[in-house]
Amino acid sequence: MRLNFFPINLGSEKYQINAEPYSDERIKELRNKYNVTHSFFRDGDKIYISNNQEAEVVFLGTTEQVNAFENYTITAALIKHVFFRDFKDRFKRYTPIDFYPFRFFSGKDDLILNLLPDSLKGRISYKKVIEIQLRKIEHNSNSMFGFIINIDRNWIFSINCEEIYKEGFPLEEVEVIHAENLPGLENVLAPNEEFIGRVKSIQGSVATVSTNNGDEDFLLSELFIRKTRFNIGNYLNFKIGREKSTKIFDEIKRRTPEIYNAENLYKEIVNIATPLFIDKDNNQTTPHLFQNKDGFCFTVDANPLQLDNSIELSNPSFIFHYDGTKKSNYADKGLTDFGPYDSTTFDIKNPKILAICHKSIRGTFSTFLANLRDGLPDSNYFKKGLLGKYELHSADMNNIQEVHEYTKMSYLNAITEFIKNSNEKPHLAIVEIPSSFRQLGDKDNPYYEIKAKLLSLEIPVQLVTTEKVKGFNEYILNSIALQIYAKLGGTPWVLPTKPSVDREIVIGIGHSWMRDNQYKGAEQNRIVGITTFLSGDGQYLLGEKIKDVKYDDYFDELLKSLEESINLISNEYAWQDGATVRLLFHVFKPIKNIEFDVIGALIKKISRFKIQFAFITISKKHPFLLFDIEQNGIRDKFGNEKGKFIPTRAQNIIIDNETCIVQMIGPNELKTTKHGMSSPIQIKIRRPSNIEQNLELNSMLYYDLSYIVQQVYAFTYLSWRGFLPSDEPATMLYSNLISRLLGKMKNVSNWNVDNLNYGLKRKKWFL
């Protein structure tokens, strides 16, 4: 297995560096005087100084001896500065876009160069962006620094708004960015770009732009159109005509599978590393020496790191009865053979269902409902239908409500009318909506209005697009039936657990960003859903309250929810006093020391049990890529190759004692041959930085990386949105779905999240 990580070989684990006491004024003064010859960076309460040239002898600060890995934040900052200076000296024709992550455009590989007229070549480009990040990992029980290389493609559009406005290109209502050179960084870094808003009007050489701070004036020469496909496409249509413009975008689309093909990506990454890390002289190659004038130096391997330290992960089986005797290696087959896990205790055997559709497809919709209920006799996966597969007695779908228009009020009136005339509240609603609703903004979207209306009545809802109703097949019906059973409160299957005297709760904390727009200065709130409590076998548990809270308030809410939930679950499952209870938090962000301390205090408060806990971040946003150069890929049903160089699902690499990178989408999970490289997820056990000074807290923390990674992996098979495994565990998937929906429904008038805390609190209404 190869990692896109290129090991750094330090000249020595100990080195000398000069330092001064930190102050804002002093670091500014030093940079103003000596920025040409020195680099300055802060770590803690000190300014650290790297002498990069011997042009003049300048003695700054006092000399300290540093251990590279014990003081790894100082070492990391020094490596970044030495690398940046070296790059600027050796590759003068490249202007970095950012200092860190270090990013620059390739000098070649412009996909559209030959399709543009000479006047636009080099001014509009679609080029390779190379990104380099620094990381420290553990390899063969030793710490190691290394550079991670990634590649993407981005637009370059260097024609300012003044020029294109003079050409006659209309700029009103066009999204624009403001570019300006940061003081002291002219010709060092590319100009800083900020997305500020839309052009409102133009007078002479000045544009008035609608921003989040109101209307502001900018010189047209400082503005550029935002580099989106829409904006650049409009300009190319204006400049060279729609036919030639279409050819450009068709070429990008045609080349995209090739660009992100894993084999090609691996080879490109290796090819980029060679000139960065290797010197050539008279056909001789030697590692390039990165160094400053204080004696700090390192080289970098030009080959990516090969690793084999991994955890043996196994696919879970699925349990379909309380006594564990009915099990299957395949969730769908298990349901067909045995029925759902909770069939003997599930109490909604005759669900009453509210069905709503547009009057123009009443016939098609009624056929869809009948096949959903009774199944498709000739199918492989859905012969039994909702009734037979989930062992229901009946499902009343006969009273279909019609809407005459695809409007919010039509749907809301239909719901109100049905409830008013019905003798009993339905257990679930199935509502047909057009896919065009997806194009509407959150504030005016009937999708969220319909969902909020029904959820406020404690009625879970299954929304189905018109296209699916018209083109349904066994796969669509099978997934919808699974979601319906879960939304009714059923448990289709659970996972096996190893015998243990320990009790366990897995807690998912999800989030979504809410903001009015993407302009600079837009107010944004991270909405946090403290929502999912799962047992070790994956059964869905829920505390007393489900809430959406702002990011700054989420931890206080977590503590309240956690204490209530532990009391509720311990009583329900008859936990004995003195039992060991393990709390595993799946979270979206690194945890601070104060949060460890507060959880520790809460645990001491719940003295009935011996509680251990772990905070685990599960992230798709990290720079690591895994490559298996021995993977030859597989053939799809048309004989096309896919997945070459992509590791199989469950292959993983241990980065350090707290971190594992796990491939979730392997060749078999790729949907098409056009699907490029798939990123693994990063599973990381978080530790407080002050752990050495807090022995009492350390005794509460749970550190078993192998156990945690296996459990996270198993939980990716728990999503009841469909039968295929997900690329994230149900804890994060569910809590993120809840957070996203709650954030969107904040815009619905009269919506109250407390509606979810009664009849719906144990139902998977968010699927």
User: Is the pLDDT at 171 greater than 80, yes or no?
Assistant: yes
Which residue did the predictor score with more confidence, 523 or 510?
510
Residue type at 737 in one-letter notation = L
Domains and CATH numbers, the chain: 2-298 (no CATH), 323-487 (3.40.50.2300), 503-619+685-757 (3.30.420.10), 623-678 (no CATH)
Q: Between 528 and 671, whose confidence is greater?
A: 671
Q: 706-732, pLDDT tens digit by residue?
A: 999 999 999 899 888 899 888 888 888
Q: Which pLDDT score is estimated for 682? A: 95
**Distance (Å, whole) CA 701 – CA 612:** 6
Mean pLDDT of 386-392: 96
Phi, psi of 224 (to 5 degrees): -135, 150
Stretch among 103-112, 408-417, 493-502, 732-741 having the lowest mean pLDDT: 493-502
pLDDT in tens, 472-482: 999 999 999 99
- Give SS3 for 66: strand
Q: What is the pLDDT of residue 543?
A: 42
Q: Residue 550: pLDDT above 90? A: no
Average pLDDT over residues 18-39: 90
What is the token pair recorded at 412? 């809301």
Instruction: Give the pLDDT band (50/70/90) at residue 589.
Output: confident
The C-alpha R_g of the chain, in whole angstroms, comes to 29
Going through 23-174 in order, the beta strands assigned E by DSSP cover 38-43, 46-51, 62-67, 102-105, 124-139, 142-157
Distance CA 152, CA 111 (A): 13
Nearest Cα neighbor of 188 from 87, 258, 107, 300 is: 87
Phi, psi of 200, rounded to the nearest 5 degrees: -95, -45
Residue 479: its pLDDT value, please?
95
Nearest to 612 by CA among 690, 499, 502: 502
Q: So what's the pLDDT on residue 513?
A: 60
585: part of which helix (H) or strand (E)? strand 580-587
Q: Which residue carries 């994060």 as its tokens? A: 732
Q: What is the pLDDT of residue 554?
A: 66
Task: Look at residue 147 in the predicted model and tell me its pLDDT.
Answer: 98
Residue 659: beta bridge partners? 656, 684
pLDDT given at position 152: 92
Burial call 228-239: b when 16+ CB within 10 Å, e when fewer: eeebbebbbeeb
Name the DSSP class of 316.
Answer: P
More confident residue, 609 or 411: 411
Instruction: Kindly indicate the confidence band of residue 544, based on its pLDDT and cuts at 50, 70 and 90.
Output: very low
Query: In the predicted model, is pLDDT for residue 530 greater than 60?
Result: no
Instruction: Give the SS3 label for residue 226.
Output: coil
- The residue assigned the tokens 């693994």 is 680
Q: What was the pLDDT predicted at 504?
A: 80
* Residues constituting the chain: 767
pLDDT tens for 594-641 read: 777 777 877 777 888 888 889 899 998 899 999 999 998 888 777 778
Q: What is the pLDDT of residue 558?
A: 67
pLDDT of amino acid 155: 93
Report residue 689's pLDDT band, with 50, 70 and 90 as the boundaries: confident
Q: Contact 644/631 with Cβ under 8 angstroms?
A: yes
- Cβ-proximal residues to 699 (8 Å cutoff; 6+ apart), any chain: none
> 119-168, pLDDT tens digit by residue?
999 899 999 999 999 999 998 888 999 999 999 999 999 999 999 999 99
Q: Residue 549: which pLDDT band, with cuts at 50, 70 and 90? A: low
Give the Cα separation of 494 and 716 in Å (integer): 12
Look at residue 469 in the predicted model and tell me its pLDDT.
95
pLDDT digits (tens, 9 = 90+) for 432-470: 999 998 888 777 789 999 998 998 899 999 999 999 999
Q: Which of 174-183, 280-289, 753-762 has the highest mean pLDDT?
A: 280-289
Extract the tokens encoding 492: 């289709």
Residue with tokens 């290394």: 146
Confidence band, pLDDT 50/70/90 cuts, at residue 103: very high
Both tokens of 77, joined, read 């900052």
Strand 400-403 vs strand 580-587: parallel, antiparallel, or unpaired? Answer: unpaired
Q: Is the pLDDT of residue 192 over 90?
A: no
How much is the average pLDDT of 555-582? Answer: 76
Stretch 662-686: mean pLDDT: 86
Query: Helix (H, G, I), strand (E, B), or coil: what is residue 590?
Result: coil
Q: What is the pTM of this model?
A: 0.88
Calculate the average pLDDT of the chain: 87
Answer whether residue 232 shows pLDDT above 80: yes
**CA-CA-CA-CA dihedral for 616, 534, 735, 755, to nearest 10:** -150
Lowest model confidence (mean pLDDT) among 57-61, 94-98, 346-350, 373-377: 57-61
Look up tokens 């047992």; give the residue. Answer: 535
Least confident of 104-118, 297-311, 579-593, 653-667: 579-593
Lowest mean pLDDT, pick from 20-24, 218-222, 319-323, 474-478: 319-323
Residue 659 pLDDT greater than 60, yes or no: yes
Residue 757, pLDDT score: 62
In Å, how far are 322, 491, 710 from 344, measured between CA atoms?
9, 11, 30
